[in-house]
Chains A and B, each alone.
Chain A
Amino acid sequence: MSLQDFWDVFVLGVVLGSLYAVIAIGYTLVYGVLQLLNFAHSEVFMSGGFGGLIVLTVVVPAADPSGIQSAGYVLLGMLAGAALGGGVAYGLERVAYRPLRRRGAPRLVFLITAIGASFFIYNLAGKIFGRNASRMPSMYENKTLFTLFGAPINVTQALVVVSAVLMLILVDFVVNRTKLGSGIRAVAQDPEVASLMGVNIDKVVSRTFVLGGLMGGVAGFLYGTTTQVWYTMGFLPGITAFAAAVLGGIGNVRGAMLGGMVLGVVEAMTVEIWGDAWRYVGAFAVLVAVLMFRPTGILGERVARTA
């Protein structure tokens, strides 16, 4: 692998990793607040892709748009993805998890519920939108914008990385600086004490789901523009992003960002060196190696409780 190849692959890895980082935030936020592995988050991601697809199919004309129009379409797709992703995440919390929380169900029940909800949502999407992949309508001409260390960077890659970084900054700001963020951190530390201090746990949990869902929805839209949109598109990115959240230390937002980036770059390198069949082997080998020496993840502080 020459240095040139390295930079090409590195760019691919950063693009992939920034998507993973955004999805991983959804996992890590929910885990932090509820100690719940929300396996249905991959379906939130998928519905974000479909949200963008639905709105853009209606809005985008057949002719290739350009300039300010393209930017508008991209923004509209992101908003639609975020809206549907956030909506699905809210509905999931409301329908699947809140009744369990009210009844104080054991943690295993939450997990099985998450898996069942995930099956239901992706099969519902397959039923409504068909089981083949659909292509996102073309919103812009995907030309090379500039080169970085000789690696060409096209519009989609720049779009994914820039919007992912903006979202990561936004989430970091929300969690560390706002009232909602201090509520989230309080509930994550100790739900009982937080509720005694006047934190409305239901509201915080619900908004945490929506926050993760908004991020996941936008990530689904971006993933859909880089590849295609189909009803099981959430499965593998979801599993990998969950691994990224664990790698960074689950429950830790900055850890999830770091873990996503690391896994994305490692995955791209693995594909380049050993071929596509080894795609997930490298990423998960890194996960195993890190967890052997740091069982709580790279930035994790709390000991991960058993699911």
Chain B
Amino acid sequence: MSTVRDSKGRERVPSAASLRRVRWYQEARWKRLVALLVLAVVGAQVTGVQGTSTDIFYALGENFTGTGIWIWLALCVGVWVIREFLSEPVNRGWVASRDRVSQPVARVRGVWQADPRLRYGGGALLLVVLILLPLWLSTYWQQVMVDQIAIFVLLAIGLNVVIGWAGMLDLALWRFLPSGPIRRRSGRVRCRWSLRWC
């Protein structure tokens, strides 16, 4: 730090500079360490045992004494050490590998974007594959495609219309979802899916 001489000729650290000076414990890295330690504790809870209501301290005790929390702590402290002390070689390696990948990707993208026939053809091929895909899949994955993917894709398209295009926040839109499968059988309204509020 540069020093200045005051009117009596003594060496002084300029006051603004001494205010700006960051002591070792004020560095942002300790804040990041604390955040990562909190993350480790929360992660140990999330991946730990399921608690019971009869003994509310059971899960806390298990999670704080088990091996899970040590794994989490080691992971988080490891990330912190790499981030704070090894960032330069890691960054260099990352940039180098990115450059190696990005050039061929850019070439392929150039070919792809130059010819619209290629784009539409690729899209059509993807569509055909998606249409034919259920024929090759087991019943389980067919159900996954419908129940857990396609339904939510449709919902997302609907939300995109209302929120994205019309600009209205419609939190209740997905409540229309149960109104589809309702049908009358023997005088009672029944619902096919056991979604949470369906």
A57 touches B56 (CB 8 A): yes
With A124-B45, A127-B45, A127-B59 as given contacts, are A306 and B169 in contact (CB-CB < 8 Å)? yes
A278: which B residues are within 8 A, CB to CB?
none
Q: Does A150 contact B (CB under 8 A)?
A: no
Closest residue of A by beta carbon distance from B42: A124
Closest residue of B by beta carbon distance from A126: B51
With A111-B169, A306-B169, A307-B169 as given contacts, are A127 and B42 in contact (CB-CB < 8 Å)? no
Residues 34-59 (chain B) with a chain A CB within 8 angstroms: 42, 45-46, 48, 50-54, 56-57, 59
State the main secondary structure of chain B at its contact with A: loop
Q: Does A54 contact B (CB under 8 A)?
A: yes
Q: Does B163 contact A (CB under 8 A)?
A: yes
CB distance from A56 to the nearest CB of B (A): 11
A124: which B residues are within 8 A, CB to CB?
42, 45-46
Give the size range of A's interface with the partner: 10 to 19
Q: Does A274 contact B (CB under 8 A)?
A: no
* Per-residue interface assignment for chain B, residues 50 to 80, with 1 indicating a CB less than 8 Å from any chain A CB and 0 otherwise: 1111101101100100000000000000000
A130 touches B56 (CB 8 A): yes
**Roughly how many angstroms separate A129 CA and B45 CA in the complex, as a whole number?**
11
* Per-residue interface assignment for chain A, residues 99 to 127, with 1 indicating a CB less than 8 Å from any chain B CB and 0 otherwise: 00000000010010000000000001001
A130 touches B51 (CB 8 A): yes
With A108-B169, A128-B59 as given contacts, are A134 and B50 in contact (CB-CB < 8 Å)? no
B45 touches A128 (CB 8 A): yes
State the main secondary structure of chain A at its contact with B: helix
Give the size range of B's interface with the partner: 10 to 19
With A124-B42, A124-B46, A307-B169 as given contacts, are A130 and B54 in contact (CB-CB < 8 Å)? yes
**Roughly how many angstroms separate A306 CA and B167 CA in the complex, as a whole number?**
10
CB distance from A71 to the nearest CB of B (A): 24
**Roughly how many angstroms separate A251 CA and B175 CA in the complex, as a whole number?**
28
* Per-residue interface assignment for chain B, residues 140 to 165, with 1 indicating a CB less than 8 Å from any chain A CB and 0 otherwise: 00000000000000000000000100
A90: which B residues are within 8 A, CB to CB?
none
B50: which A residues are within 8 A, CB to CB?
127, 130
Of the candidates A54, A111, A307, the one whose C-beta lies within 8 Å of that of B56 is A54
Of the candidates A54, A134, A306, the one whose C-beta lies within 8 Å of that of B53 is A134
A127: which B residues are within 8 A, CB to CB?
45-46, 48, 50-51, 59
- Most B CB contacts (10 A, CB to CB) among A50, A111, A128, A131 go to A128
B57: which A residues are within 8 A, CB to CB?
54, 57
Of the candidates B46, B48, B53, B169, the one whose C-beta lies within 8 Å of that of A130 is B53
B59 touches A230 (CB 8 A): no
A161: which B residues are within 8 A, CB to CB?
none
CB distance from A115 to the nearest CB of B (A): 8
**Roughly how many angstroms separate A53 CA and B163 CA in the complex, as a whole number?**
41
Q: Does A132 contact B (CB under 8 A)?
A: yes
CB distance from B197 to the nearest CB of A (A): 11
Q: Which 5 A-B pairs have the closest CB atoms?
A: A130-B53, A132-B53, A130-B52, A130-B51, A134-B53
- Which B residues contact A (CB, under 8 angstroms)? 42, 45-46, 48, 50-54, 56-57, 59-60, 63, 163, 169
- Which A residues contact B (CB, under 8 angstroms)? 50, 53-54, 57, 108, 111, 124, 127-134, 230, 306-307
